[in-house]
């Protein structure tokens, strides 16, 4: 399929079938940033209520920077990977201290806490409509399937081709269309194209225990290591707690968390 036909196919489908998502109704870089951090390894339907509540409580960088850790974690509890919101606050504190807004170039974005290559490009595409190649699992699968690429093609090879496929001046719409097409039509089940990574089973994962620890501490303020180990039979509880303390999510004083 040639690039023009590919563009027409995806955009025509999107016009009739696009999902109504709240972060698609704005180009506010802060709102886009919050949505992208929340969407990391978290399903869209789960993110929507958290996104709306979070922005109501923390409508801008300054409000986020000044929020208490307890309040932040209360708003984030249930999303998982709680260190995401702490890094997000560090980013807000850094920018507000320097009296800066969210940058609109990749190098500056990637210098901020919690922002990697994908998130930086997503912000540039969705907030600033810049022609950058945003490649997530769904989009990668579309390029491989529709353009008949080798499934073992490197990310760099796909990104190079992806840049040529972005319709002029329509980077934001194009990437939203690709995400929906990959999520709703060209699914992994349909194409049999394997994802680059597979998430572990949630209930048996470190992520589950981390989330439970946060919930308990938000309710009871503290718990002993013995009580936690009795409630959750994790062989690596101490290692998980040590990592959470290192990330400044919790404090451990002797036997109390």
Residue 224, beta-bridge partner list: 256
- Give the integer Cα–Cα distance in Å for 12 and 140: 20
Neighbours of 87 (CB within 10 A): 16
Task: Point out the residues that are catalytic.
Answer: 36
Rounded (5°) CA angle 100-22-111: 30
Tell me the H-state helices in the chain.
3-17, 29-39, 44-57, 61-66, 69-76, 83-97, 106-110, 117-128, 137-146, 155-165, 171-184, 188-191, 206-220, 225-231, 237-246
C-alpha pair distances (Å), 24 with each of 126, 176, 239: 8, 8, 39
């Amino acid at each position: 399929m040639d690039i023009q036909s590919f563009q027409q196919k995806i955009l025509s489908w999107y016009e009739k079938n696009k999902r109504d998502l709240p972060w698609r109704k704005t180009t506010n870089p802060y709102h886009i940033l919050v949505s992208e951090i929340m969407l990391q390894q978290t399903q869209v339907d789960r993110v929507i209520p958290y996104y709306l509540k979070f922005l109501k409580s923390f409508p801008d960088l300054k409000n986020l920077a000044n929020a208490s850790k307890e309040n932040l974690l209360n708003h984030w509890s249930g999303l998982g990977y709680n260190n995401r919101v702490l890094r997000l606050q560090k980013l807000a504190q850094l920018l507000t201290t320097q009296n800066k807004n969210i940058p609109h170039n990749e190098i500056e974005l990637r210098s901020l806490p919690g922002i990697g290559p994908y998130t930086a490009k997503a912000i540039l595409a969705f907030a600033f409509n810049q022609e950058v190649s945003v490649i997530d699992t769904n989009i990668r699968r579309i390029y491989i399937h529709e353009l008949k690429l080798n499934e073992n093609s490197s990310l760099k090879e796909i990104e190079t081709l992806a840049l040529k496929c972005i319709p002029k001046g329509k980077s934001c719409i194009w990437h939203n269309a690709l995400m929906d097409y990959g999520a709703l039509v060209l699914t992994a089940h349909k194409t049999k194209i394997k994802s680059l990574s597979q998430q572990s089973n949630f209930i048996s994962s470190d992520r589950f225990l981390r989330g439970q620890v946060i919930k308990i501490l938000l309710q009871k303020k503290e718990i002993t290591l013995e009580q936690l180990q009795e409630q959750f039979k994790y062989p690596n509880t101490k290692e998980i707690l040590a990592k959470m303390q290192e990330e400044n999510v919790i404090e451990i004083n002797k036997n109390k968390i």
